[in-house]
Amino acid sequence: MRHPVLALVGVTLATVLLMECGTLVAVESGWLDSQRPDYGTQRYWQGNHERFGVWRHPNTRTRHQSECFDVDYRSNAIGARDIERSRDTRVPRVVVLGDSFLGGWGVTAGDRLSNRLEASTGIEHINLAMAFFGPYQELIVYRELARDYSHDAVLVGLLPANDFVDIDLEQARIELDYQYLYRPYLVGDPPDYTHLDLEEPPLRRGLRDISYLFNAVLSLASRQALAANRDPEEAEFPSWYYDYSETQVARLDEILRRLSHAAAGKTLVVLLIPTAQDFTRFDHSGPAPLSHHLAELSQQEGFILVDLLPAMARRTGERARFFFPCDYHWSALGNRVAAQLVERALATTLYAR
């Protein structure tokens, strides 16, 4: 009886190996869109941080290349993409929170929004933004890292394009191929929200790190789940500035309230960041309900809201160049224009001279 079993095992292993090799060729040739395994060699991104979910390894560097940018990233002693900062200072200082947009995805540190604001205002901007973050992670980073540094103000960037998913556990679980699905979440119903750490099972992480085939299966399952979950009434030009649910915006409200309370006594600025898709919807639908909603919340909680959507959308002649041609993030131009708009909006408050 042992020989047929061994033969079946051998055939199965050979079949899986052939499928793995075929998937590798398909992905590397561009025939199949799927996450690539990194074989556990990633030394810059830390995808299993015990408190934040993802963070950078301290004092490391990496080269980030794509079809339209080639840039070096470097982290400091606390894992932030920033220069070393003193813990205490008597001069004004701003803590910057956010995701890949404020972290400077695809651009040099000098070209990103926070560095441009520091250069033009003379005020230090401690950048604690991190690619793959959602607003709840930004709140945790503020509580656990920013409090160690004296500061007078907080600038937090919100990206509606993915932040609602990043704080929605059930929605995020649909995107099975997203490698940074495992993170802290705020779960439950208002007002009884609780903290939950979603941790990736070791076997799944191991297979994702080494197997093209496993990643391809995850991508296929993710696309099918997203298609099944798509609302048939979805707008012709979808945008999270307009298409969020009441549950999602209530959770975002709670996070902003907690951030406002954590930053009590300091100036808090909430920066709404649009993508090119948001511009298209703005052209067709006009003012966004999210902007109106957060403006009302800002009055209640005492923070300053700066929404970049209207001003950036009106610059029709150049707005396509605000983003990389191969990527939805800001280019150096997008960072420059956003910094100018932010400084102008805060000229009589945060940057008053």
| The pLDDT value given to residue 228 | 64
The reply to whether 229 and 316 lie within a common domain is yes
SS3 304: strand
Is 65 inside a domain boundary?
no
Note the pTM of the prediction, 2 decimals.
0.92
Report the C-alpha dihedral over residues 268, 271, 272, 273, rounded to 10 degrees.
-150
82-91, pLDDT tens digit by residue? 999 999 998 9
Question: pLDDT at residue 194 above 60?
Answer: yes
Is 41 inside a domain boundary?
no
The reply to whether 110 and 200 lie within a common domain is yes
The reply to whether 156 and 293 lie within a common domain is yes
Residue of 158, 154, 139, 156 whose CA lies nearest to 93: 154
Distance CA 255, CA 133 (A): 14
- Number of separate domains in the chain: 2
Contact 111, 332 (CB under 8 A): yes
The reply to whether 173 and 24 lie within a common domain is no
Is 37 inside a domain boundary?
no
328-337, pLDDT tens digit by residue? 999 999 999 9
The reply to whether 224 and 110 lie within a common domain is yes
The reply to whether 164 and 28 lie within a common domain is no
Is 59 inside a domain boundary?
no
124-181, pLDDT tens digit by residue? 999 999 999 999 999 999 999 998 999 999 999 999 999 999 999 988 888 887 888 8
Is 150 inside a domain boundary?
yes
The reply to whether 139 and 19 lie within a common domain is no
Contact 282, 300 (CB under 8 A): no
Helix axes 212-229, 202-210, angle to 10 degrees: 110
103-120, pLDDT tens digit by residue? 999 999 999 999 999 999
The reply to whether 214 and 288 lie within a common domain is yes
| The pLDDT value given to residue 14 | 82
235-257, pLDDT tens digit by residue? 678 999 999 999 999 999 999 99
Is 125 inside a domain boundary?
yes
Distance CA 242, CA 294 (A): 12
The reply to whether 2 and 145 lie within a common domain is no
Alpha-helical segments (H) within the chain: 2-28, 100-103, 113-121, 135-144, 160-166, 169-174, 202-210, 212-229, 246-262, 276-285, 289-301, 309-314, 332-345
The reply to whether 95 and 1 lie within a common domain is no
CATH number at residue 254: 3.40.50.1110
The reply to whether 25 and 152 lie within a common domain is no
Question: What b-and-e string marks burial along 163-184, b requiring 16 or more CB atoms within 10 Å of the CB?
Answer: bbbbbbbebbebbbbbbbbbbb
Is 54 inside a domain boundary?
no
The phi and psi torsions of 78 (rounded to 5 degrees) equal -105, 5
| The pLDDT value given to residue 55 | 96
Residue of 30, 11, 305 whose CA lies nearest to 160: 305
217-239, pLDDT tens digit by residue? 888 887 777 666 655 445 678 99
263-318, pLDDT tens digit by residue? 999 999 999 999 999 999 999 999 999 999 999 999 999 999 999 999 999 999 99
Host domain of residue 15 = 1-32
The reply to whether 106 and 173 lie within a common domain is yes
Per-residue DSSP letter, 9: H
Question: pLDDT at residue 39 above 80?
Answer: no
Please, is 56 exposed, middle or buried when counting C-beta atoms within 10 Å of its C-beta (0-12, 13-18, 19+)? buried
